[in-house]
């Protein structure tokens, strides 16, 4: 799903923006994808949901991942792609940074050691490309697998929030608890400030989308 992003530009320039785990071995392998009981940090899947880039920190992380996944790029090409991603009209961000800001971000990234993977969130369920599954079907699979644990790790809560967001629903503690088949008390006990910040950003993005539909 492109979600109004101009992914054609990345495809035409042969830019890799998704990478499945290479070293971590899945606990279970299914026709639709993989399940990692302890999670994996090796899955990078940019621009695969409705969530857009809403902050400078997030923009820098996305560009760093692109730099890491595409070692064939020279700096001039990377800078060009960074400017394209940062341009709000191309559908990747909710804002357009100044040229100076982008220049500073790309210069910092250029100094980064490519041998060290960018920080990433741990994922438990990874779907293969072109599974033919609808968003609703994917959500049922994620819920059925993660919900078996009767607990709520940070990774579980994050996956639940992304799934609820994909349904174009407001993310609430009650909905997260229902998705994971645990009590709301369990969610309150496990949710972190970082996850609460992500929750707020996703909900705000939903509000902005709703406003645009009414225009």
How is 82-125 classified by DSSP, letter by letter?
HHHHH-GGGTSBSS---HHHHHHHHHHHHTS-TTSPPP---EEE
pLDDT (0 to 100) of residue 210: 63
Closest to 163 measured CA to CA, from 105, 124, 107, 194: 124
My answer on whether 116 and 195 are in the same domain is no
Instruction: Provide the pLDDT confidence category of residue 12 given band limits of 50, 70 and 90.
Output: very high
- Residue 18 CA to residue 35 CA, distance in Å, equals 17
Name the packing angle between helices 56-69 and 75-86 (round to 10°): 140
Which structural domain range is residue 96 located in?
A: 1-132
> Which contiguous run of DSSP H or E holds residue 194?
helix 193-214
pLDDT (0 to 100) of residue 92: 92
My answer on whether 154 and 172 are in the same domain is yes
My answer on whether 121 and 142 are in the same domain is no
pLDDT above 70 (res 84) = yes
My answer on whether 51 and 123 are in the same domain is yes
pLDDT (0 to 100) of residue 154: 85
Question: Which of 115, 132, 149 corresponds to the end of one domain?
Answer: 132
pLDDT above 50 (res 40) = yes
* pTM of the model as a whole: 0.74
My answer on whether 147 and 111 are in the same domain is no
- Residue 209 CA to residue 86 CA, distance in Å, equals 19
pLDDT (0 to 100) of residue 147: 66
pLDDT (0 to 100) of residue 124: 84
Give per-residue pLDDT as tens, 161-203: 888 887 778 999 999 988 888 889 999 999 999 899 889 988 8
The domain tally of the chain equals 2
My answer on whether 108 and 84 are in the same domain is yes
**Average pLDDT of the residues in 135-162:** 79
My answer on whether 155 and 212 are in the same domain is yes
pLDDT above 80 (res 49) = no
pLDDT (0 to 100) of residue 142: 80
Q: How far is CA 106 from CA 51, 86, 184, 193, in A?
A: 22, 11, 42, 28
My answer on whether 57 and 82 are in the same domain is yes
């Amino acid at each position: 799903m492109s979600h109004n992003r101009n992914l054609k530009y990345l495809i035409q320039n042969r830019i890799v923006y998704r990478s499945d785990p290479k070293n971590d071995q899945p606990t279970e392998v299914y026709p639709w994808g993989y399940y990692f009981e302890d999670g994996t940090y090796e899955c990078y899947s940019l621009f695969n949901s409705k969530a857009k880039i809403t902050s400078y920190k997030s923009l820098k992380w996305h560009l760093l991942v692109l730099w890491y996944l595409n070692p064939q790029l020279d700096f001039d090409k990377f800078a060009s792609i960074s400017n394209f991603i940062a341009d709000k009209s191309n559908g990747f961000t909710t804002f357009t940074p100044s040229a100076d800001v982008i220049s500073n971000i790309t210069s910092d990234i250029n100094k980064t050691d490519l041998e060290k993977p960018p920080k990433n969130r741990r994922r438990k369920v990874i779907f293969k490309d072109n599974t033919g599954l609808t968003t609703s079907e994917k959500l049922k699979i994620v819920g059925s697998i993660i919900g078996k644990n009767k607990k709520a790790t940070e990774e579980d809560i994050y996956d639940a929030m992304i799934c609820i967001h994909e349904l174009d629903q407001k993310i609430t503690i009650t909905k997260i608890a229902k998705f994971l088949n645990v009590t709301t008390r369990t969610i309150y006990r496990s949710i972190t400030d970082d996850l609460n910040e992500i929750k707020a950003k996703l909900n705000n993005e939903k509000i902005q989308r709703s406003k645009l539909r009414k225009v």
